[in-house]
Structure 1
Amino acid sequence: MNGRSPAGVVAGVDGSAPAAAAADWAAREAERRECPLHLVHAVNTGTVTLSPRAGAAVTDLILKNAQAVLDEQLDRLIAAHPTLRITGDVVPRDAAPAILTAAEHAELAVLGTRGHGGFASLLLGSVSLRVTAHAACPTVVVRGSGTAGGDILVSIRDDGDVPALRFALREAEISGLPVRALHSWATVVADVGHTAPMADELGEETALHEQLLRRTVDAIHPDYPDVDLRAEQVSGATAALLVEASKRAALLVIARHAPAPHFGLRLGSAVHAVLHHAHCPVAVVPL
């Protein structure tokens, strides 16, 4: 077993409720994309400190229990999606590297917010964070239920975010939902009365951001002419605006930019915020 899945949708499962919800979302997505779904159940068998015979028996028991968990999820999803090709593997490895390996050639990786192994108080588990930070393909973290009939919300930071917009437009094309492209920006006010921008300067800055947004949208929207796309630019804190807007969204899409050299998080602050607090599933698209 090399742990790599066929091209399609990969979902991590572990028997937890968030992972089951993610698998359900992944199955519906695979059906829309007309591609297979592959489930990965990773288990760390640990360092055996017993006798060789006892250690082998413990490892075998762990793997058998993991296979039972996987089989339960496979049976459930196959019954609900009888025409969908669904496969699965138990991988004796830590969850994050197992899912990253499985998703190397996938269209999409799908995860729950957290599994059995983390602290119940955490809003997002370490596996989901690690996979979204390093996956070569887009990753969806299924949180909340999303708004049925809501739009697909995509964050546009700059005109390098075309891959995120393209992902959102494709999702809209296969789901029939509209897209709302949101570009947010913040004015710098250091000392009111001295460096606060004047009204005409704010107007010029607004116009520049509007041009940036239109340039980004116009570069890709013609490839998806049937998708209803609304573009909006607004001043304010990106993370807060996206979390609030996610209340009315079916899916939030955000780009994963390269981390700043020498410091900073692998995932930017806005990505971290929406992964922890969004009210709908979040798709993180690597650039």
Structure 2
Amino acid sequence: MNSRSPAGIVAGVDGSPQATAAAEWAAQEAERRGCALHLVHAVNTGTVTLSPRASEAVTDLILKNAQSVLDEATGKLAAAHPGLRLTGDVVPRDAALAVLTAAEHAELAVVGSRGHGGFASLLLGSVSLRICAHSSCPTVVVRQTASSGDHILVAIRDERDGEALRFGLREAETFGLPVRAVHVWSPVVADVAHAAPMIDELGEEAHQHKQLLDHTCDPVREDYPDIPVRTDHLTGATAGTLVEASRNAALLVIARHQPAPHFGLRLGGAVHAVLHHAHCPVAVVPV
């Protein structure tokens, strides 16, 4: 067992429909990039019984069943993508830690929105959230039914998000799609009764946000002159605006600004909301 994958794409699998959809998305992405795909199936073998012999037998059974799940996932992907370089491991540890470790030197991690654990009503599982919060590489979260959109959507918060845009442009290049870069802001004026005397101030504020968007996007898109990039600065609630904008996107790319502590899931309100409600796969890019 090699817990660290070679450079390429790492995908977590557990036999759930969401993880199966994520693995298929990862396989297609690996083909687009021309890189390898490594599957990780993590299982908890911490079974304790009164008999050491019985405990060992239960552990062996758990690992055998886990290997069957991995073999089934690998077999389906190999049949659907015969030219794909495909490897896989069963890892006896916490699922999030298993994927995070495997992805330490990977280009990309891909996970389903949730696995077999937890409540069926959950839109996003704790394992996926932890991986998005702590992964050192970009992480894509895929729902059971991934939409087919006509562009790559990139959320731009401030000038630190150039790396997220660069990731989005690379994805657009592999997908053969244009990019839409969106910056969402809320006007300072909240009292409509006093808005009229402040039209000039609002216009100046809008101009500043447009400048922020241009200053972030212009240097990056110069490196991708053949990819059309549309920029929009929109007013409203960031999370809701991005979720609505994702309806026709093939992928929504958003930056994770702050490195999360060892314990906790500080992803930010907008990131958390789009992971739960976006209409397309979401890529979280650490910046």
Output the TM-score relative to the length of structure 2: 0.95
Q: Residue 40 in 1 paired to residue 40 in 2?
A: yes
Shift of 1:195: 7.8
Cα separation, partners in 2 of 1:190 and 1:230, compared to 1, 3 Å: closer
Alignment of 1:73-84 (within 5 A): 73-84=73-84
CA RMSD of aligned residues (A): 1.7
Shift of 1:46: 1.8
Unaligned 5+ residue runs, structure 1? none
Match of 1:226 in 2: 226
Cα separation, partners in 2 of 1:87 and 1:201, compared to 1, 3 Å: same
CA distance in 2, matches of 1:149, 1:179: 11
Shift of 1:233: 0.5
Match of 1:70 in 2: 70
Contact 2:257–2:286 (Cα < 8 Å) also in 1: yes
Q: Residue 212 in 1 paired to residue 215 in 2?
A: no
Shift of 1:47: 3.7
Cα separation, partners in 2 of 1:237 and 1:59, compared to 1, 3 Å: same
Match of 1:105 in 2: 105
CA distance in 2, matches of 1:237, 1:161: 19
Match of 2:16 in 1: 16
1:60-97 CA-to-partner distances (Å, cap 9, x unmatched) read 00000000000000000000111110000000001000
Instruction: Report the residue type matching 1:20 in the other structure.
Output: T
Instruction: Report the residue type matching 1:119 in the other structure.
Output: F
SS of the equivalent of 1:41 reads strand
Q: Residue 240 in 1 paired to residue 240 in 2?
A: yes
CA distance in 2, matches of 1:3, 1:129: 20
CA distance in 2, matches of 1:130, 1:170: 25
Instruction: Report the residue type matching 1:224 in the other structure.
Output: Y
Unaligned 5+ residue runs, structure 2? none
Contact 1:146–1:249 (Cα < 8 Å) also in 2: no
Shift of 1:193: 4.3
SS of the equivalent of 1:223 reads coil
Instruction: Report the residue type matching 1:176 in the other structure.
Output: G
CA distance in 2, matches of 1:79, 1:167: 29
CA distance in 1, matches of 2:70, 2:146: 26
SS of the equivalent of 1:7 reads coil
CA distance in 2, matches of 1:26, 1:80: 12
Residue correspondences, number: 285
Shift of 1:259: 5.9
Shift of 1:118: 1.5
Query: 4+ runs of 1 displaced by more than 3 Å?
Result: 144-147, 189-197
CA distance in 1, matches of 2:260, 2:80: 44
CA distance in 2, matches of 1:98, 1:246: 30
CA distance in 2, matches of 1:29, 1:196: 50
Q: Residue 252 in 1 paired to residue 243 in 2?
A: no
Shift of 1:147: 4.2
Shift of 1:25: 0.1
Cα separation, partners in 2 of 1:131 and 1:251, compared to 1, 3 Å: same
Instruction: Report the residue type matching 2:93 in the other structure.
Output: R
CA distance in 2, matches of 1:122, 1:90: 25
SS of the equivalent of 1:258 reads coil
